[in-house]
A and B are shown apart, each in its own frame.
Chain A
Amino acid sequence: MKKCVVALAGNPNVGKTALFNALTGARHHVGNWPGVTVEKRVGWFRYRGVKYEVVDLPGTYSLGSYSLDERIARDYILSGEAAVVVDVVDSTNLHRNLYLTLQLLEMGANVVVALNMMDEAEQKGLKIDIKRLSSLLRVPVVPTVAVEGRGIEDLKCAIYEEMTQHPRHHHMTVGYGRAVEVMIARVVDVLRSHPQLEKYSLRWLAVRALEGDRDILKIIEDAVGEESAKKIKDIQKDLRNVLDDPVIFFADKRYELIEDIVGESITGGREEWSYTDLLDRVTSHPIFGLLMFFALMWAVFEFTFRVAEPFVDAIDFLFSQLASFATRNISNAALSSLISDGIINGVGSVLIFTPNIFLIFLALSLLEDSGYMARAAFVMDRAMYRIGLPGKAFIPMLVGFGCNVPAIMATRTIEDEKDRLVTILIAPLMSCSARLPVYILFAGIFFAGREGSVILSMYLLGILLAVVTTLFLRRFVVKGKPSPLILEMPPYRLPSLKAVLLNTWERGSAFVKRAGTIIFAGVVVVWFLSTYPGGPGSDINHTYLAYIGRVAEPLFRPMGWDWRLVVALLLGFLAKEIVVGALGTLYSPSGGEEATLRSSLQSTFTPLQAYSFMAFVLIYVPCLATLATIRAETRSWKWTAFATVYLVALAYAVALLITAVGSLLGRWMT
């Protein structure tokens, strides 16, 4: 009996697994691809006396060398093991799916296109001219509905015919314009004389080499030797003189061709746009999309601050009553001081921000669940790629607004080690929820009526510094270009209330748990150090904490911060929430019974000092847990130390700069 290997390729979520099952039934086994832990499924079926082994390739959007999945799929097709490659295409989204198809054709694979999910295309009113599509692509195209088993026999027949009658197609080629075609031809000339490369499509190798695919360049270098490799590098240089970015250029040309193919093969379809199509025109627009993103972020912070205010005041009132109750009813001075000044004031000053934390997570969950965040990633990617960040870094950065620890862990989705390291090092600059209480406290006191804008400026400052840091790292430390982003846009939908509330609760309750554990422990330590050796009621200027603070105070004198702020910053190394907790303990007793933390701070600092302090809190090391995570994820003390030193130095420099510029402006205006 004859044998034939068939590979199944396709984008994720196109029904590839359903097609695999429809072709093979239960006849399959699961293993791993050699050397990696990516699942490999192999099944088989018989048709007209031939036994077909079906290899399910990982779902990919392209065949570059950016991710492990792409490399596995590409290397398998390059190996030539598969006689036929079935490209499973989502017929409702030909624009996106045909990109992979074109790449397979450029590679010279024997392709059969399975136009899957035809039922959904029909429901959407799309009429696909199968014959026209087939003639444009110059490969067989078979309509299928894999989940219902429709079109499977036709597909088997097409595979059989492709294997027996058309061992090698003369496929269509993508035209890249005269100037670039000349360069492709020059590379092909260099490759032509090398027999080791005969099994590959030389044109495809040339295109990939010009795109800068490192794996393909390695294959070429190994085959052609140094002298010929140098010629190719010279051609690459010539290309870069003509094009700003070859990767984008080649992708654009493929999409231009796809546009033509889709335009010619989809006929009679309705011209209706869904709400998603309508909104995407604006939310994915390079300018309006970006402006809308900032407008929505402003709305999130305004919502977080202003709507939470009555709840914050209610909790504040509750804690002040509790503290008074404890003071009145506990006769032991030390215990009374510990409970009212230490625990209730300290933990309370953090817990009063619980409504803000829950509201910010509620707002972000609403945006996530509506499908907007994918658009935000898309509009941000253009800018991110230019500064040297991979598009995939957006998600960890977004997670970083909640907590930097999972943000750093989320960088695991970034395949390229350098991209990942850069993202890990900038993640702490994303303003996590633990910093929010500091902003809310200071913005509420010093910038009343403008709190939303001031808090937003902190988040924007974090993003700006992440950009500067990335440029610095890419220029001097972790050199190289980031991977491009390929993102699936989910349709917009009304957020599910249950999912949103659950998500908000999971994230928000973590803040409350931290208040009950590490912050509780932190404020007790702060209370002890700020009460002794004199004991309760003694002058705070003669406590252990004052001694420690005064040692470090001269360093921060240029910013005008007193030793108590310095101490709060030092304790903030443990966890940022402790900063407010420590301020609650350090400032509340200073003005007698009438004094509150707010009024104490207001009488001690200027808005400029407050703003520079907020900036310092934003930038310097988030917490010990973040540092431990950086160590665990980079497996390097060197990078952990680098992150610590860099962030502290950057925080100091920015705070100093804000003070200097603000003072100069103040003098100039008066």
Chain B
Amino acid sequence: MRRSLSLAASSLALGIIYAIYGVISLLSGHLDTPQHPLLPRGGVALSLIMLLISSLYLYSVPRLLHDDLEGLSYLLAALILSAIVGTVQMLSIGADALDSLITGETYNAWDADIWLGTPS
């Protein structure tokens, strides 16, 4: 029961973080404002994926509280999806860094989405 509670609490926290992040990045895409360095650079699609990850986390919460294995399913799927998206983002940042070496352009790609992409 204690394990279920802690899993549910973690899932809820991650779900809320992803939801906030997804909504902000979605709205910032529609507003005519400069891209904030803390926002992901994958456009609307990535924002929607953030919201999908958030919904997977949140969907798992009540099931985890009831000790239902289905809750674990959604939590696992959310973790895997966020790990994949995070890995792609991290590789992209690495590629940008390498590209700046090749083309000589200024490298300014550090943003926070990689950390949200790989929660553990």
Binding site for B on A (CB under 8 A): 271, 273, 275, 277-283, 288, 291-292, 295-296, 298-299, 302-303, 306-310, 313-314, 317, 449-450, 452-453, 456
Contact = CB atoms under 8 A, between A and B. Distances in A.
Interface string B89-115: 001101110110111000000000000
Contact of A295 (B52, B59, B101, B103): B52
Contacts of B81: 292, 295-296
B88 interface: yes
Given A281-B73, A298-B42, A299-B85, 16 more contacts: A273-B73, A278-B73, A282-B77, A292-B81, A299-B49, A302-B46, A307-B94, A307-B95, A309-B95, A309-B99, A310-B98, A310-B102, A313-B102, A450-B43, A452-B42, A453-B44
Contacts of B49: 295, 298-299
Given A278-B69, A308-B95, A317 B42 contact: no
Most buried by B among A277, A278, A453: A278
B18 interface: no
Given A278-B69, A298-B45, A449-B43, A313 B77 contact: no
A573 B84 CA distance: 37
B77 A283 contact: yes
B70 A281 contact: yes
B102 to A, nearest CB: 5
A285 B70 CA distance: 12
B102 A279 contact: no
Closest 4 CB pairs of A and B: A281-B73, A282-B77, A310-B99, A310-B98
Contacts of A278: 69, 72-73, 76
A309 B41 CA distance: 15
A298 B45 CA distance: 8
A449 B96 CA distance: 12
B56 interface: yes
Interface residues of B, number: 33
Interface of A is mostly: helix
Contacts of B102: 310, 313-314, 317
A449 B41 contact: yes
Given A282-B77, A453-B42, A456-B45, A307 B91 contact: yes
Given A295-B52, A449-B43, A302 B72 contact: no
B73 A306 contact: no
A453 B43 contact: yes
A200 to B, nearest CB: 44
Contacts of B95: 306-310
Contacts of A296: 81, 84
A280 B91 CA distance: 27
A303 B76 contact: no
Contacts of A307: 88, 91-92, 94-95
A302 B74 contact: no
Contact of B92 (A279, A291, A306, A313): A306
A563 B27 CA distance: 40
A295 B85 contact: yes
A193 to B, nearest CB: 52
A385 B56 CA distance: 27
Contact of A288 (B41, B56, B94): B56
B85 to A, nearest CB: 6
A281 B76 CA distance: 10
Contacts of B80: 279
